């Protein structure tokens, strides 16, 4: 790509499933593609909980964007934070990088944590949406156990207790994984600490966990969590958080030095500056082609977009497969337009709804209503999620990583790298 290029420029903002999906489909387009992300890596969010609990290391969850797109000769990558978007001038501003103008824009900045104004959450909670979040949680859990090892009295103060907020997939899988880390590994790692006194509590404001699943899958989930010693509290909201206490809306105070937040998402604050009418969760509404009304050159894809499902008429969920497919659609459509070919509206191919709970425990509900649980469901989860990885090399590496972790259950990542 040269500065004097006369080819159309496609600017992709965000290197998540949606942004990378778009860039993949633009590989052979007669265009200059520029992808910008605040990180130099793509985050595989569905496995953040495995990083937080030491099963995978950072490179098992974060993949170099430059590596992923190394074979795309028409593509360059910048690591920079997007600070402004001028839709009329077709220009995007960045922190520390000169503004970039575009002919086509793929807006794929994803979502960020929503604490719903819960007092103390922004300061003291441990959200689970980014790689730094997962590393921070892992380090904090290790630090609390090391402290309790030195001073066992801390256990009674709740140093090892964890409250996880959110009865959706993020909360359930994180609670399950932390309980397995505690009972399976820390129980042996810290022999002087009474591990049974360390409690993992899952709090959900709604009346049940996993409302999107059939009752029998919800029952399976409750049983699998109980087997892992996760205490479930439904119909209870968290009112406030301090470094050592979690207060519920009922006034009850839980002793816990860790509150993991897996309860809600909102579009990045940047979308509020665009002067658009936003939908629930600050998501940007798009038409059937995934473009912005009045801006056919702007594609909005992934978690940041409110995409209508052509089959149900409702909004599509914020899922990896929705993000990947919508991003791919944007990339493919732009490539076809540049080549003077016809385009078609977006349709989502539903691969089923699924979630993991722990080792060998997962639930799957297919579109036709068929369900699976246990190891079979976990394998189905693995197959669908492998497809989210961008290259065959990544898939091969993931199979080795996941199989190794599943077979040995060794949590080699449970070390703290700090100090000198
Ligand atoms: C813990 C967790 C578990 C999940 N589990 C599953 C699962 O099992 N199955 C499933 O299908 N889905 C799962 N999801 C949802 C799925 O990961 C998301 O739907 C998907 O990642 C959305 O992709 P995206 O590309 O829209 O956004 P993201 O993946 O969030 O990517 C957005 C990118 O934009 C970048 N960015 C954001 N703001 C800026 C800025 N201002 N400047 C520059 N760059 C910026 C970010 O660094 C990021 O790389 C899970 C999500 C979480 C958090």
Cα atoms found within 13 Å of the Cα of residue 344, Cβ hemisphere only = 3
pLDDT one-digit tens code per residue, 213-256: 999 999 999 999 999 999 999 999 999 999 999 999 999 999 99
CA geometry: angle 333, 339, 345, nearest 5 deg: 20
pLDDT of residue 267: 82
Over range 92-100, report the average pLDDT: 98
Which has the higher per-residue pLDDT, 3 or 253?
253
Provide the pLDDT for residue 1.
56
Summary mean pLDDT of the chain:
93
The pLDDT of residue 10 is above 70: yes
Q: pLDDT-derived band of residue 3, with 50, 70 and 90 as boundaries?
A: low
Q: Residues 6 or more apart from 222 whose CB is under 8 A from it?
A: 209, 232
**In the predicted model, is pLDDT for residue 397 greater than 60?**
yes
36 Cα: distance to centroid of ligand 1 (angstroms) = 15
Which ligand 1 atom minimizes the distance to the CA of 355?
Answer: 8
pLDDT at 2 over 70: no
Tokens of 211: 């409302």
What percent helix, strand, coil does the chain show, rounded to 5? 35, 25, 40
Name the burial class of residue 291, with classes exposed (0-12), middle (13-18) and buried (19+) by CB atoms within 10 angstroms of its CB.
buried
| Helix, strand, or coil (residue 16) | coil
pLDDT value for 120: 98
The contacts of residue 358 (CB under 8 Å, 6+ apart) are: 173, 176, 177, 179, 180, 224, 228
Tokens 């593509």 correspond to 75
Question: What percent of the chain has a predicted confidence (pLDDT) above 90?
Answer: 80
Q: DSSP string of 50-89? A: HHHTTSS-HHHHEEEHHHHTTT-TTEEEEE-EEEEEETTT
Secondary structure (3-state) at 334: helix
Spatial separation of the C-alpha atoms in residues 141 and 46, rounded to whole Å = 20
Q: How many CB atoms lie within 10 A of CB 322?
A: 24
Nearest CA to ligand 1 atom 26: 302
User: Tens digit of pLDDT for each residue in 22-72?
Assistant: 999 999 999 999 999 999 999 999 999 999 999 888 988 999 999 999 999
325 touches ligand 1 (CB under 6 Å): no
Measuring from atom 31 of ligand 1, which residue has the nearest CA?
16
Ligand 1 centroid – CA 16 distance (Å): 6
Distance, in Å, from the CA atom of 412 to the CA atom of 414, rounded to the nearest integer, reads 6
Which of 78, 109, 260, 361 gets mutated to test ligand 1 (max ligand atoms within 8 A of its CB)? Answer: 109
**Residue 409 or 366, more confident:** 366
Over range 292-305, report the average pLDDT: 96
Give phi and psi for 49, each to the nearest 5.
-65, -30
Question: Average pLDDT of 194-218?
Answer: 95
Q: Is 62 in the pocket of ligand 1 (CB under 6 A)?
A: no
Cβ(110)–Cβ(16) under 8 Å? yes
CA distance 356 to 225: 11
Q: Which residue has the tokens 């961008």?
A: 390
Pick from 268, 280, 240, 20: which is nearest to 124 by CA?
240
Average pLDDT over residues 118-147: 96
Q: Nearest C-alpha to atom 5 of ligand 1 is from which residue?
A: 46
Confidence (pLDDT) at 276: 87
Structure confidence by residue, pLDDT tens digits, 253-286: 999 999 999 998 888 888 988 888 899 888 999 9
Confidence at residue 71, expressed as pLDDT on a 0 to 100 scale: 93
Q: What is the pLDDT of residues 359-394, one digit of tens each?
A: 999 999 998 889 999 999 999 998 998 888 877 877
* Cα distance between residue 128 and residue 168, in whole Å: 13
pLDDT of residue 287: 94
How confident is residue 97, by pLDDT bands cut at 50, 70 and 90?
A: very high
What confidence score (pLDDT) does residue 254 get? 97
Flag whether pLDDT at 402 surpasses 80.
no
Calpha distance 138→262 (Å, rounded): 15
What per-residue confidence (pLDDT) applies to 261? 97
Q: How far is the CA of 376 from the centre of ligand 1 (A)?
A: 26
* pLDDT reported for residue 309: 92
């Amino acid at each position: 790509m040269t500065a004097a290029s006369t080819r159309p420029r496609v600017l992709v903002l965000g290197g998540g499933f949606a942004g990378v999906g778009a860039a993949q489909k633009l590989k052979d387009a007669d265009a200059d593609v520029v992808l910008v992300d605040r990180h130099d890596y793509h985050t595989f969010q569905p496995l953040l909980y495995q990083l937080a609990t030491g099963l995978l290391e950072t490179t098992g969850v974060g993949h170099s964007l430059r590596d992923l797109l190394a074979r795309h000769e028409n593509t360059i990558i910048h690591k920079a934070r997007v600070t402004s978007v001028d839709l009329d001038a077709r220009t995007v501003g960045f922190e520390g990088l000169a503004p970039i103008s575009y002919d086509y824009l793929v807006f794929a900045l994803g979502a960020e944590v929503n604490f719903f104004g819960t007092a103390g959450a922004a300061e003291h909670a441990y959200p689970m949406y980014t790689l730094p979040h997962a590393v921070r949680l892992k380090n904090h859990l290790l630090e609390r156990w090391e402290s309790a090892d030195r001073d066992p009295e801390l256990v009674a103060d709740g140093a090892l207790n964890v409250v996880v907020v959110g009865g959706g997939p993020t909360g359930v899988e994180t609670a399950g994984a932390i309980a397995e880390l505690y009972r399976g590994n820390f129980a042996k790692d810290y022999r002087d600490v009474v591990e049974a006194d360390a409690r993992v509590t899952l709090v959900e404001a709604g009346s049940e966990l996993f409302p999107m699943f059939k009752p029998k899958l919800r029952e399976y989930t409750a049983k699998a969590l109980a087997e892992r010693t996760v205490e479930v509290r439904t119909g209870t909201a968290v009112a406030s958080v301090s470094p050592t206490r979690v207060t519920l809306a009922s006034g009850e105070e839980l002793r816990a030095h860790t509150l993991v937040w897996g309860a809600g998402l909102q579009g990045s604050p940047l979308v509020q500056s665009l002067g658009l009418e936003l939908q629930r969760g600050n998501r940007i509404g798009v038409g059937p082609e995934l473009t912005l009304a009045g801006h056919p050159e702007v594609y909005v894809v992934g978690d940041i977009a409110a995409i209508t499902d052509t089959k149900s008429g409702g909004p599509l969920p914020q899922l990896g497969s929705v993000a990947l497919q919508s991003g791919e659609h944007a990339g493919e459509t732009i490539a076809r337009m540049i080549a003077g070919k016809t385009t078609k509206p977006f349709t989502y191919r539903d691969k089923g709804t699924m979630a993991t709970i722990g080792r060998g425990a997962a639930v799957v509900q297919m579109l036709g209503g068929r369900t699976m649980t246990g190891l079979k469901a976990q394998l189905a989860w693995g197959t669908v999620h492998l497809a989210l990885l961008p290259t065959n090399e990544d898939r091969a590496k993931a199979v080795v990583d996941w199989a190794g972790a599943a077979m040995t259950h060794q949590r080699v990542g449970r070390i703290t790298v700090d100090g000198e």
